Amino acid sequence: MIEGWRWYGAYDRISLNEIAQTGAAAIVTALHEIPYGEVWPRQAVAGTRDRIRSAGFDWTVVESLPVHEAIKRGEGDLAGLFANYRQSMANLAAEGIKVICYNFMPLLDWTRTDLAAPAARGGTCLRFSLTKMAAFEILMVKRKGAEADYPAETVAAARAWHEAATQEELDRLHTAIMAGLPGAFDRYGIAGLRDALARYDGIDRDTLRRNLKRFLEEVVPAAEDLGLRFAIHADDPPRDILGLPRIVCDGEDIGWILSANNSRANGLTLCAGSLGANPANDVPAIAARFADRIHFAHLRNVAKDPDGSFEEAAHLGGDTDMPALIAALLGEEARRREQGRADDSIVFRPDHGHELLDDGTRDTHPGYPLVGRLRGLAELRGVIVGLGHAAGPLFPAV
């Protein structure tokens, strides 16, 4: 397995020189400054690649090449957006990119209600509180019908929390929910969010699936021609929020997506944390089931509460059996080597670390501290090396 590290380029407070000290071999990044729907110029891709390469890293995975909201909504004449997307793909392939991670989450990417929840032994972590999410939807956004999407006890708890909350706490909740938007793009105010949600009126799960299938039909043939592999990221959290459907939440969803276009170029980013937040998911079993189509992996862990809330756990803590998951990925790499596949090594990265020690002084992207991810990478590296040592010739490349 190839150790990766997510880097936000010019927007990142962590330098490539600092990342080099973590031991990671690959950088996972994107051209975050380019608005959704515009072509990524080859010169800009090459400039980022050269900067990464000169620091001693490989750049083979882009995370992510964003899908425009109009494509997710299936809205209007999309020919120009699809053409731009394919041109960006061609420019990435020309500069050595092999894997494109993307998501099909409507409007928002990952969503949390707390960006600095206290962790058990010090430091802070990201947290998703179902009570606070209900308060945001029902009492702040005032989304019509939102109450029906939550259990009665959660609605009651949300009302109690909202009544007791200070304006600072309400503002902090709003900021946290907007934090999943990448790069330098504007965050929605409450009124702007209502307007954005209104554009998704009438789009249900089946409609979103049809729009994803159309997207795959437009881009997967080009990916095959270019030698690229697409890797869809699971929804985070794996549940409908803000009345928006989520269609990448479990094994059934993943199976549908991979069968919707049965090319090996149509694959999966195995995100242990996103899938692990769904109590119904056995993440190592999902990895084993779809191993042949896993092109990239996010390794992190979550601890779930009975009401559907969860928080980021230590990489070897939480509810997912991380050694079992890594063993499934190592086993898949061994099978690929036996088959002589060029994609026999899977890039992974530690994801959403705790803020530890002086991480809080750096003002990094939420969930992407230096020390917390360094701890996670070291723990994951230990598991990989240990499994390889125990298995002997089964994992000869470890």
Tokens linked to 45? 């891709």
Selection from 151, 119, 59 nearest residue 312 by Cα = 119
The Cβ of residue 44 has, within 10 Å, a number of other Cβ atoms equal to 15
Sign of the CA dihedral running 209, 214, 218, 221 = positive
Going by the DSSP 8-state scheme, the letter that residue 35 receives in this structure is P
Active site residue 233: yes
The most distant pair of C-alpha atoms in the chain lies apart, rounded to whole Å, by 61
Q: Is 361 exposed, middle or buried (0-12, 13-18, 19+ CB in 10 A)?
A: exposed
Secondary structure element (H or E) that encloses residue 228, with its range: none
Cα separation, 237 vs 352, whole angstroms: 14
Catalytically annotated residue among 85, 188, 200, 368: 368
Tokens linked to 165? 């909350």
**What totals of helices (H) and strands (E) does the chain contain, helices first?**
14, 12
Cα separation, 379 vs 322, whole angstroms: 10
Q: Where are the alpha helices (DSSP H) in 187-250?
A: 190-198, 205-226
Catalytically annotated residue among 233, 295, 315, 354: 233
Going by the DSSP 8-state scheme, the letter that residue 101 receives in this structure is E
Question: What are 62's strand-pairing partners?
Answer: 29, 100
Active site residue 36: no
Catalytically annotated residue among 12, 236, 351, 359: 351
Active site residue 162: no
Active site residue 365: no
Cα separation, 349 vs 6, whole angstroms: 7
Cα separation, 289 vs 308, whole angstroms: 25
What are the DSSP E strand ranges found in 300-355?
Answer: 301-304, 310-313, 347-350
Active site residue 295: no
| 163-168 own/partner pairs: CB under 8 Å, 24+ apart | 165/135
Cα separation, 22 vs 28, whole angstroms: 14
Catalytically annotated residue among 271, 282, 295, 359: 271
Catalytically annotated residue among 295, 298, 315, 354: 298
Going by the DSSP 8-state scheme, the letter that residue 355 receives in this structure is B
Active site residue 351: yes
Among all residues, which ones are annotated catalytic? 233, 271, 298, 351-352, 368
